[in-house]
A and B are shown apart, each in its own frame.
Chain A
Amino acid sequence: MSTTEILFWFLSALALVSATMVLISKNPVHSILWLIIVFFAISGHYVLLNAQFLAIVNLIVYAGAIMVLFLFVVMLMNLNSDSEPQKNSRFKVAGTIAGGCLMLIMIDVIRDAGEVQNAKALVKVGNIGLIKNLGMALFKDYVIPFEISSVLFLSAMVGAVVIGKKD
């Protein structure tokens, strides 16, 4: 087993375990912290895949900005484990089964897909994930969506103001 593989399995296990912990943590704050760990694990995967830019952005945007925002809101509301009454277990079981079925079905379907049977994701090589290449593409080929997403931000901003403003 190469280092890469070890890293892969480790990061995968970490991501899955942390993701599960997000679900089962009673305390919202803990959930958030576990989620941050998931993000770190995923960023690790990005690094492994030589997508360094995304790895950094993921950490900054998700783990850094978004999760802090979540944390902040949770703290603000002073939520803790007691404040969330549990759903009845029947509902939980149903939800788990439904999600599990979805997973099994999707994996089963994908397993038979021809073009991914023997395909490999390049690990550690390739430079498309470098910031230079991405930047070139982003501001040359992808300038239209890039500009248009500004509208998205505008509206999100307006929304945050409208909703968040105290009347």
Chain B
Amino acid sequence: MNTIILSAIFGVVMMFSGIFIHNRSAYKNISSAALLLLLVFNIFESQGSSLFNINTTNFLHFNKFGLLFNSICIFSTLIYVMLSGREIEKAGNNTAEAHALIFFVLCGIGIVTSYTNLLMLFIGIEILSIPLYILTGSDKKNLKGNEAALKYFLMGSFSTGIMLMGIAMLYGSGGTFMLENVVKNGIVSYLSALGMVLIFIALCFKVSAAPFHFWTPDVYDGAPAVITSFMATVVKVAGFAAFIRLIEGRLGSMGSQTDRLIAIVIILTLAFGNLTAVFQQSVKRMLAYSSIAQAGFMLFSLFAVNDAAKEGLLLYAAAYSLATIGIFAVLAKMDDMTLEGFNGLSKSQPLIAALLAIFLLSLAGIPLTAGFFAKFYMLSAVVKTGKYLGLVIIGVLFAAVSAYYYFKVIQAMYFKDGNVVLAPVTARFKYLLLFVAALIVVLGVYPNALLSFLYF
């Protein structure tokens, strides 16, 4: 409950700081401090001491997994704000409000990682989404941003409609919105099954799984890079947290039908994301497609709802978020976001190039980076189920394809010559980036550093 309440409060604080403080660079610091506080309290809660003693039975249940997930999201956001704070200022005139919206999103994340009631899922997802619609369009003069916001909004609300239809059907079948009681006494019917499928589809939309991913490239491409960074990482993995709770609670009982459904979605997502990313010239858009591809991998955790899947999802969330935030932090400082724009970066900015290389390697799932263990856990979760080994093989085939486009960036940075125009970077930025890379490497060698939190 700490996260939900405090992030809402901090959101309000940020709103008001926008009124009282006019030094725009201060927002970043306030926001960072608040996030740090949030992180601390969230960790406290995961150790069993909550500030607020509120009876949330029937609506929310805070478990280790959800809270650890919150921690990862908050931590990623903290890194994100510290790395990209200045870019948020540039993305629009309402910096304080943007920070406030980020806090509201975190509030939504707190809900969707802990809901036990479909109502909370619905509200959580909406709290998550509505600020994003706004953030996407926060650079009002940018026509691409406008377009992205409108597309996102229209398609998002459409998917909300679908989800609500699903929830209604589940309710009709079970007479309750409680996750565990959705099925009354184990009697299930076409009605609840249809409802489940509809909710599944809506959540696929939220996590940009194919074939419901179409909004993703356009929105990620159109939104200011700094916002894309947040959307594509923290928010997306939160969607998975919501998803896995749902599947865990309900969809798993549908047996082979579900397996087949998820398998198809996984394959389509991997195929769309990876294949389309191959051809992109803009790194930003490539990352948008790659985020779809990465979602495909995270979907593995839904296929195999077991411990390995949950551990893997945590690790994936951390690895993927940190790496992508790191890349976007640099990308946002570049004039030319195409591949050519990266040519020769290793000459002018050797450290940043090296760190970017680590991030990209992590995304590609190369060992010694956290990305490897993330993928490893995902694959192992599926193999553990003993079903659909072919799915795993398809997964690794596409992982190889993914190396193709990630390495294109590395090639551009290291093996090609060119003049990179990079906005000036501070030493602090570099150190922070270095810290993130170090985290990725540490998790890549010793993932237990993160996962052991799940068990004590």
Please list the residues of chain A having a beta carbon within 8 angstroms of any beta carbon in chain B.
106, 109-110, 112-116, 141-142, 144-145, 148-152, 154-156, 158-159, 161-163, 165, 167
Task: Determine how close the nearest CB of chain A comes to the CB of B147; give it in whole angstroms.
Answer: 14
Known contacts A112-B190, A142-B119, A154-B8; 14 further A-B pairs (Cβ under 8 A): A109-B190, A109-B191, A109-B193, A109-B194, A113-B190, A145-B59, A145-B120, A148-B120, A150-B8, A155-B104, A158-B134, A159-B134, A161-B97, A163-B140
With contact pairs A144-B60, A148-B123 given, residues A154 and B12 touching in the complex (Cβ less than 8 Å): yes
Mostly, the B contact residues are helix
With contact pairs A162-B94, A167-B93, A167-B140 given, residues A151 and B8 touching in the complex (Cβ less than 8 Å): yes
Task: Determine how close the nearest CB of chain A comes to the CB of B50; give it in whole angstroms.
Answer: 14
State in angstroms the CA–CA spacing of A148 and B107 once bound together. Answer: 9
State in angstroms the CA–CA spacing of A167 and B12 once bound together. Answer: 22
B101: chain A residues at CB < 8 Å are 155, 158-159, 162
Query: Within the complex, which residue of A115, A116, A145, A165 is in contact with B123, where a contact is CB–CB below 8 Å?
Result: A145
- B77 lies within 8 A of chain A by Cβ: no
A149: chain B residues at CB < 8 Å are 123
Task: Determine how close the nearest CB of chain B comes to the CB of A143; give it in whole angstroms.
Answer: 9
Query: Within the complex, which residue of A113, A144, A152 is in contact with B189, where a contact is CB–CB below 8 Å?
Result: A113
* Tally of contact residues, B, Cβ under 8 A: 44
State in angstroms the CA–CA spacing of A113 and B141 once bound together. Answer: 51
CB-based contact B131/A159 at 8 Å: yes
A151: chain B residues at CB < 8 Å are 8, 11, 104, 107-108, 127
Task: Determine how close the nearest CB of chain A comes to the CB of B109; give it in whole angstroms.
Answer: 12
CB-based contact B134/A162 at 8 Å: yes
In the complex, what residue of chain B is closest to A115 when comparing beta carbons? B189
State in angstroms the CA–CA spacing of A115 and B123 once bound together. Answer: 28
Task: Determine how close the nearest CB of chain B comes to the CB of A3; give it in whole angstroms.
Answer: 26
State in angstroms the CA–CA spacing of A161 and B140 once bound together. Answer: 12
- B100 lies within 8 A of chain A by Cβ: yes
CB-based contact A144/B54 at 8 Å: yes
In the complex, what residue of chain B is closest to A108 when comparing beta carbons? B190
B15: chain A residues at CB < 8 Å are 154, 158
B141: chain A residues at CB < 8 Å are 167
- B133 lies within 8 A of chain A by Cβ: yes
With contact pairs A115-B173, A155-B127 given, residues A162 and B189 touching in the complex (Cβ less than 8 Å): no
Q: Give B103-120 interface residues, CB cut-off 8 Å to A.
A: 104, 107-108, 111, 117, 119-120
CB-based contact B107/A144 at 8 Å: no
CB-based contact B173/A145 at 8 Å: no
Task: Determine how close the nearest CB of chain B comes to the CB of A132; give it in whole angstroms.
Answer: 21
